[in-house]
Structure formats: C-alpha cells, structure tokens
Amino acid sequence: MDAYLGIDVGSISTKGVVITKNNHVIAQAYLRTQGKPVQAIKELIKNLQMQTNNTKIIGAGTTGSARRLAGVMIGADVVKNEIIAHALASSYFHPDVKTIIEIGGQDSKIILLRDGIPIDFAMNNVCAAGTGSFLEHQATRLGIPIEQFGNYALQAKTGVTIAGRCTVFAESDMVHKAQLGISTEDIIRGLCDAIVRNYLNTVAKGKNIQPLILFQGGVAANIGVKTAFERALNEQVILPEHFLVMGAIGAAILAQEYVSENKTTKFAGFRTADIKFITKAFECKDCPNSCEVIETFREGQIIDRYGDRCGKWSENT
C-alpha cells in the first residue's frame, strides 16, 4: 500500500501519522518531546514503522515549531507552518469549519476559515498560561492524574473566579481558594473558566468566532476546558476524531499534493531512525548582526544551516 507520512514536532509533544491516498489514518503516534526533538523524531519514526510494515511511504511532510529539523532529518517533501497544516486537515474532515481553537503544550492559536480557506489567525507563544504544560503542573500539584482533571471540573457545584492571565497568579489564587475551604472540584472548574477567559481576551481578542467550532491540541482532551468554552461562547464546540494529530495529518495531505504534482519524493525512509543526527549552534562574527547559525549534522556531515540573515551560511550548505 502506498501512503504518506506527516510529522508535527512541538515543544511538548511530537506527533506523527501515516495516511492513505484517501486521507484515511492507518497509523498514528503521540510522544513527549522532552526537550530532545531529534530523539523524539527517531522514536516516532520507529513507532510508525512498526504499525505499517507492509506500507510504502511515497511522500512526507513536516510541521510544528521544529518542522525544519524534522524535515531535514526525514527528507520531507513539504515543510509548512502549523496554521496551514491545521486548516487543511480540519477543512477536509469538517468542510463547514469556521473556527479552530488549538491549545498545545506551550502555545495556543486561533484560525478563522471561510469556505475552507484560512482568512485570519493569531498565536500566543510568549506565556504558557492556560496551556497543556501549565495544566499538567496543576494536576501534579493537586495529586490528580491529568486524564481525570477535566472530570473534576464537571463535578463542581459552583464556579469560583481564578486569575488566569499569569501562571504565577493563577497558582497563587488556587492555593488561596483551597485555604478558604473551597472544594477541589470548584477550584478546577474555576481554572478551566480562567483558561478560556484568558484565551478569548488575548489570542482570540477581536476575532469573529463563528460555528462550526473545532477544538484541537492536547488541551482539547480536557472535557472541563471544552465545556468552559461552550459556556463562554454559547455554542457547541466539537472535538475532531483526530484532534491530537490534526497538524500531522495536514502535513501528510500537503505531502500527497506535492507528490501528485511532482511525481517524486525526497523521503529518506524509515532508516532515519537509526542514523545519528546532531544539532549545534554558533554565533557568526562577520558583521554587526551577530546571527546565531544553527547547524544540523547527519553522521558527522553538515546537511543544513539556517539562522543567518545574509544567507552566507545557509546558501552554502
């Protein structure tokens, strides 16, 4: 069977899928990046290979914050940003989608579509307030498995106001509410409401949110946050079947489009998982810009350089 590979590498998680020419997902994997994207990508490749032994990959695409690194490692045909990847996959599975809410491990974004075309977007990647890493920290502090965190919010008798604009203030406010004797369930619901309030007042500020609304990314697994969005927007919020890996699916679809047009692929194969890759950085002193140049080595040989404004290093890789 011919198929297409898509990889989405973020700061917290690394996602991958293999899809058929009909965009049917036949394999998927979701791993923790853990600050080691090279190792995470290699483990992801091994995982997907085990799920698709009799499958031939004839195209590959990457997206996410480490999309260039992933693209160089696997020989990607397409390297695209998350906005395009999420919009493409979402509009394929839900042609009527007009708003995509995406909250990941350390960033969040909103994408507005009309007739399947992204017309506006915004991202928040400066503060981690309301993202997956913050929620996991609070779940650990409260001694609650993150998988059960949202269910606690649904058991709340009433909501309490939690400061949501800053992770430090939010945690301090939660501790204070607990000291007042307020139940854990009510505090968690208050936190979910605060996350939504912060998102709508920062990332989505001034955006024309219209249904059909999709909720994607790791935080979408939290039923408490999903329900809080529905309360705030007074609209149904839908979790797509593949909400965790929609970016990777979009990258795979983009690869399929590229290969169908160019009739060739640069995919290096699953052997990528067994090759040694190293990434280094140095500061170029040749001009006042002092650019930080990133180098990627495969088996000791330089295969990519970027980060220089003038192109001195990147154009001679």
pLDDT over 70 for what percent of the chain?
A: 97
Question: Rg of the chain's alpha carbons, rounded to an integer?
Answer: 21
Average pLDDT value for residue range 189-199: 89
- 229-251 pLDDT per residue, tens: 999 999 999 999 999 999 999 99
The pLDDT of 16-23, averaged and rounded, is: 97
| Type of residue found at 235 | E
In whole angstroms, give the CA distance from residue 251 to residue 158: 42
* Contact assessment for residue 282 and residue 255, using Cβ atoms and an 8 Å cutoff: no
pLDDT for position 22: 95
Specify the pairing of strand 237-238 against strand 277-283. Answer: unpaired
pLDDT number for residue 128: 63
Residue type, 170: A
Tell whether the torsion through CA atoms of 196, 249, 261 and 22 is positive or negative. negative
To the question of pTM greater than 0.95 for the whole model, the response is no
AA letter at 314: S
Q: Give yes or no for a contact between 28 and 245, defined as CB atoms under 8 angstroms apart.
A: yes
Mean pLDDT of the chain: 91
Q: pLDDT for 119-139, tens place per residue? A: 999 988 656 666 777 888 888
Residue 143 pLDDT exceeds 90: no
Alpha-carbon gap, residue 92 to 95, rounded angstroms: 6
Which residue segments constitute the domains of the chain, with CATH numbers given? 2-88+246-274 (3.30.420.40), 95-238 (3.30.420.40), 277-316 (no CATH)
Average pLDDT, stretch 47-75? Answer: 94
Nearest C-alpha neighbor of 105 from the set 79, 83, 135: 135
**First vs last C-alpha separation in the chain:** 35
Helices 223-233 and 184-201 meet at what angle, rounded to 10?
Answer: 60
**pLDDT level of residue 164 (50, 70, 90 thresholds):** low
Does 61 or 129 have the greater pLDDT score? 61
Q: Check residue 254 and give its pLDDT.
A: 98
